[in-house]
Chain A
Amino acid sequence: MITKIILDENELPKKWYNIQADFKTPLDPPRHPQTRELVVPADLEPIFPKELIKQEMSQERYIDIPEEVRDILTLWRPSPLFRAHRLEKLLKTPAKIYYKYEGVSPPGSHKPNTAIAQAYYNMKEGIERIATETGAGQWGSSLAFATQLFGMECKVYMVRGSYDQKPYRKMMMQTWGATCVPSPSPDTNSGRAILAKDPDTPGSLGIAISEAVEDAATHDNTNYSLGSVLNHVCLHQTIIGQEAQKQLDMVDDKADIVIASAGGGSNLAGLCFPFVKDKIDGKNPDLEILAVEPAACPSLTRGMYAYDYGDVAGLTPLLKMFTLGHDFIPPSIHAGGLRYHGMAPLVSKLHADKLIDSTSVYQNEVFDAAVMFARAEGIIPAPEAAHAIRVAINKALECKKTGEAKTILFNNSGHGHFDLSSYEGYFAGSLVDYEYPAELIKESLKKLPVLS
C-alpha cells in the first residue's frame, strides 16, 4: 500500500504547459487601462521583463524551463503526491483520495514555483529590484526567497491588516533580505491618497497591487511581479499538474475529480491545466475539475465575466475575467490568499467554456475539514488549501453514498504553520461565516468599465 508517490529529481518537468495553445477560441486580450486599446508588449515593458511578456502572449504549447530555474526548483521538487489512506478510512469512503503537497517548499506553498522563474527572467534582463504586493504573506515571502537567490532587492507592500497580524511572514521576508512595508503606505501616490481619505484602513490586495505597480513604474531598474492571475504565472505553476500526472501513472490510476482552491487562480491553474488538456484532447472527457472559492469572495461562482481592472486604482490593464468588481474589498476571512476580486483570465475562460466548474464554501466548514484532515493525515493545511480539502471530503462522502470508487485528486497548496491563530479562532468558535450577497449586489456591479 503506497502512501508517498515520489518522482526522481531528473523527472522534474523540463517544460511548462501553456494552455492557450489548446483553446478553441483565443483568449480575450488585455486592454490598456486608459485608452482601452489592445495592450501591446511595449505597454508592459516598463514593469515586466521581455521574456515574461513573451510568455504572457505566447501561443506555444510547451515552453522550456531554464536549467538555472530547474536547478533551484530541485531544492524541494518534485513535490510528493500522497495517497490519503487514513482520511479515506476515517470517511469510510470507497473513493481514492490523492493530494499533491506543495507545503514542502522553503516558503511553505506553491508560490515559489513562479517566484523563482520571475526573479530569474528579471535578473537576466539586468533588473536589480522588484516591487510586489502580498496579502497573507505567502507570495511576498516566496518572492523574497527567490530574489535573494539572484542577488536582487525586493520591496513588498503587505496588506496592512496582515502586516499587523502576521509578524512571522514579515520576518521571513526580512530573513530573505526583502523590505516589507504595510500597505497603504506613504511611499506611493496611490497609498498616500488612500491614507488621506481613510487613515485607519486595513488595506486590501487591490490597494497593495496599485502601490507595487506604481513603485515599479516610477523607480529605475525596478520591475513589478505578480504572484497570481497573469498568464505567465499560471504557466509556471503547471509543473504541479504535470508531476501529478506522472505520479498517478506510477500507481496506474487516473483522476475522476481534480480539485483546487481558487483566489487569483494560479494554484488551480498549476494542478488543473495539464488535466484540462486531457479533457480537451478526449483522453479523459468525463473528468470533473472544480475550483473552490470562499463564500465571502466567490468571483467564479457568483461574479460577472467582464473586463475589469486588476487593482483598486485602475492602474493595471483591463482583463477579461470573472470579477466581483475591482472596488470590492473582500471581508476578513482567514484564507487571505483567496481574497481577490477577480480571477485569472485563463481560468475564467475555461470556466466560461464549461471546462472547469466552481463551488464556494464557508469558513467554518473549511476549518472543520482542515482539522479532520490534520488529525487523519498529520499535515496542518493552510486555510487556502483547506478549501480544496473541504470539497474533496464532500466528494468522497458522496462516493460513500453512491458506492462509487472515484479517484479524487486535490492540491494541498501549503502548510498552515503561520495560520495557527486562525485555528485558535476556529477552536474558540469565533470564526464568522461571511458570504457575498450576490442577489442584492447584481444591481450595483454597474461600476465595471464598459467596453464597446
Chain B
Amino acid sequence: MIKIGFIVNPYAGMGGKVGLKGTDGCVKEAILLGAVRGSPAKASRFLSAITRKDIHFFTAGGEMGEEELSSAGFSYTCLYNPPPPLPGGDRFTTAEDTISACREFTKNDCDLIIFCGGDGTARDVFTCTGEDMLILGIPAGVKIYSGVFATTPESAARLLSSWDGISSTYGEIMDVDEEKYRKGELDTRLFGYAKVPSSKVLCQSSKQVSYGDDSRATKEIASFITEIMRDDTLYLLGAGTTTGAVAESLGISHTILGVDAIFQGRVVGKDLNEERILELVKDYDKVKIILSPIGAQGFILGRGNQQISQKVLDKTGTDALIVIATEAKLKGTTCLYIDTGSPEMNERFGDSIQVICGYRMAIRAKLAH
C-alpha cells in the first residue's frame, strides 16, 4: 500500500481565464470578474484515470481534496482542515493551508505528494517538503513553468499507476514574479529542485530498447562530458542536477541554482553573475558553456539563467554551448527554447540543437526562439 498526500488548490487557474495572469491574492477579484473553478474537475479527472488499487490517500478537508476523493470512492484520511469562514465573510484557502496540509502529510510518512495547481502551489508545496519528499503536479494553474508537473491529469494518473514507489528524477521549481507577469513581463528564477517520481518505462518499443532510467542516463552524460573536457578550455557549468552530476563526476562542488566556472578540473569561479563571467572569459581563449534546459517548457537560455547573457555569448560564440539533458526530461518537452534577448543571436542557433543525452549519445531536438 502506498501513501499519497493529495491536495487541491481549488482556485488555481481562475485568474488566467479573466486576464489576471495568476490567482495568488486575487481570488475574490477573479470571482467578481466571472471566473469559474477549473482545478476540481482536473483533480477528478486525475482520480478517475488511476488504475492501481494499492493506494491510501491523505488529504485536506472539503474543497482541498476531500470532496474529489470522496466522489471517486478512494480510501483516504483527512489530516488537515482549513479554518472555517467567519460568519458572513469570505474565507478562501491560502498558501498557508497548502503548507500546513503538506506538513501533516510528511509527518505521517507519505510516499508522495500530488497537488493540483500551478507554479504558486508547487512553490508552496516545495516550501514545506524541500528535496526530501517526492512531489508531482497536476497542471491546473495559470502559469506552469516548473518541471514537476505531468502534462495532463491523465498522464499524472498513468505515472502514478506505473510508479514503482522508488524511481525518481528532479524537476525545477520556478518562481515567477507575479507583479511583472501581470505587466506582460516574464521574469523567472529557479526556486529549487524537487524530487519527482519517474516511471521505469521503456523509452521506445523498438528493436533495441534502452530503459528510461533517469539516474543511469544522468551518470552516462556526466561520464561523457568529463571524458571530452580539455585542459585548454574554461567550462561554465550551469544550474541543475544534470550539470551537478558532471561536477560530481569531477569530484568538485557545484552551485545547483547558479553558474560555476571550471578549468582543468578545478572550480575557478562559484555562483557567477554576468559581470563576473565577462571578466573571467577575458582570460581564456577557449570557453564552453554546459547547460541543461530549465523548466518544463524547455528553456535553454533566457529563463532562470540570465547570467549567460547575450554579452557572454558574444564573447564565447554561440557554438560554445553544450546542451545536456536526459531523454526522459526531453520526452516531456516538445520543443526547446532559446531567448538571448537578441532575435539576431537567437537565429544563429538555427531550428534544431544537439542535446547530449547519454554516453557518446545525442538527440537532435527542435528549437524555437
Contact = CB atoms under 8 A, between A and B. Distances in A.
Interface of A: 135-137, 159, 161-162, 164-166, 200, 202, 204, 295-296, 324-325, 328-337, 339, 362, 383, 419, 421-422, 424-425, 430-437, 440-441, 443-444
23 contacts: A135-B207, A161-B207, A162-B207, A165-B209, A295-B364, A324-B360, A331-B358, A331-B361, A332-B209, A333-B206, A334-B204, A421-B205, A422-B207, A425-B206, A433-B363, A433-B364, A434-B361, A435-B354, A435-B363, A441-B360, A443-B227, A443-B228, A444-B228
Contacts of B208: 135-136, 159, 161-162, 202, 204, 330, 332-333, 336, 339
Nearest to A329: B359
B210 interface: yes
B362 A435 contact: yes
A332 B354 contact: no
Given A331-B210, A422-B206, A434-B364, 6 more contacts: A161-B210, A165-B206, A202-B210, A331-B357, A440-B224, A443-B230
Contacts of B322: 440
Ranked 5 nearest A-B pairs via Cβ: A336-B207, A161-B209, A136-B207, A421-B205, A437-B362
A405 B342 CA distance: 46
A165 B207 contact: yes
Given A295-B364, A432-B327, A419 B358 contact: no
Contacts of A335: 207
Interface string B198-234: 0000111111111101001000000010011010000
B356 interface: yes
A333 B364 CA distance: 13
B26 to A, nearest CB: 37
Contacts of A443: 227-228, 230
B207 A334 contact: yes
A296 to B, nearest CB: 8
Given A200-B211, A336-B208, A165 B360 contact: no
Contacts of A159: 208
A425 B204 contact: yes
Q: Is the interface of A mostly helix, strand, loop or mixed?
A: loop
B205 A424 contact: yes
Given A200-B213, A444-B228, A337 B207 contact: yes
B175 to A, nearest CB: 31
B136 to A, nearest CB: 21
A202 B224 CA distance: 19
Contacts of A419: 207
Interface of B: 202-211, 213, 216, 224, 227-228, 230, 322, 327, 330-331, 354, 356-365
A334 B360 contact: no
Nearest to B352: A433
Nearest to A336: B207
B167 to A, nearest CB: 12
A432 B228 CA distance: 24
Nearest to B365: A433
A324 B361 CA distance: 12
A425 B204 CA distance: 7
Nearest to A384: B207
B138 to A, nearest CB: 22
A437 B356 contact: yes
A79 B205 CA distance: 31
A305 B159 CA distance: 45
Given A137-B207, A336-B207, A435-B364, A444 B227 contact: yes
Contacts of A324: 360
Contacts of A332: 203-204, 206, 208-210
Contacts of A331: 210, 357-358, 361
Nearest to A328: B360
Contacts of B228: 440-441, 443-444
A328 B362 CA distance: 13
Contacts of A325: 360
A432 B357 CA distance: 11
A440 B213 contact: no
A437 B360 contact: yes
Nearest to A159: B208
A432 B330 CA distance: 10
B327 to A, nearest CB: 7
Nearest to A137: B207
B292 to A, nearest CB: 15
A422 B205 contact: yes
A51 to B, nearest CB: 32
A386 B230 CA distance: 39
B215 to A, nearest CB: 11
B225 to A, nearest CB: 9
Contacts of B363: 432-435
B202 to A, nearest CB: 7
A151 B17 CA distance: 73
Contacts of A328: 360
Contacts of B206: 161, 165, 332-334, 336, 421-422, 425
A356 to B, nearest CB: 25
Contacts of B359: 329
Nearest to B334: A429
Contacts of A430: 204, 331
Contacts of A296: 361
Q: Which of A362, A383, A437 has the most CB of B within 10 A?
A: A437
Contacts of B354: 435, 437
Nearest to B205: A421
Contacts of A440: 224, 228, 322, 356
A276 B330 CA distance: 43
B152 to A, nearest CB: 15
A435 B360 CA distance: 9
B362 A434 contact: yes
Contacts of B356: 437, 440
A177 B322 CA distance: 50
Contacts of A425: 204-206
A162 B361 CA distance: 19
B343 to A, nearest CB: 26
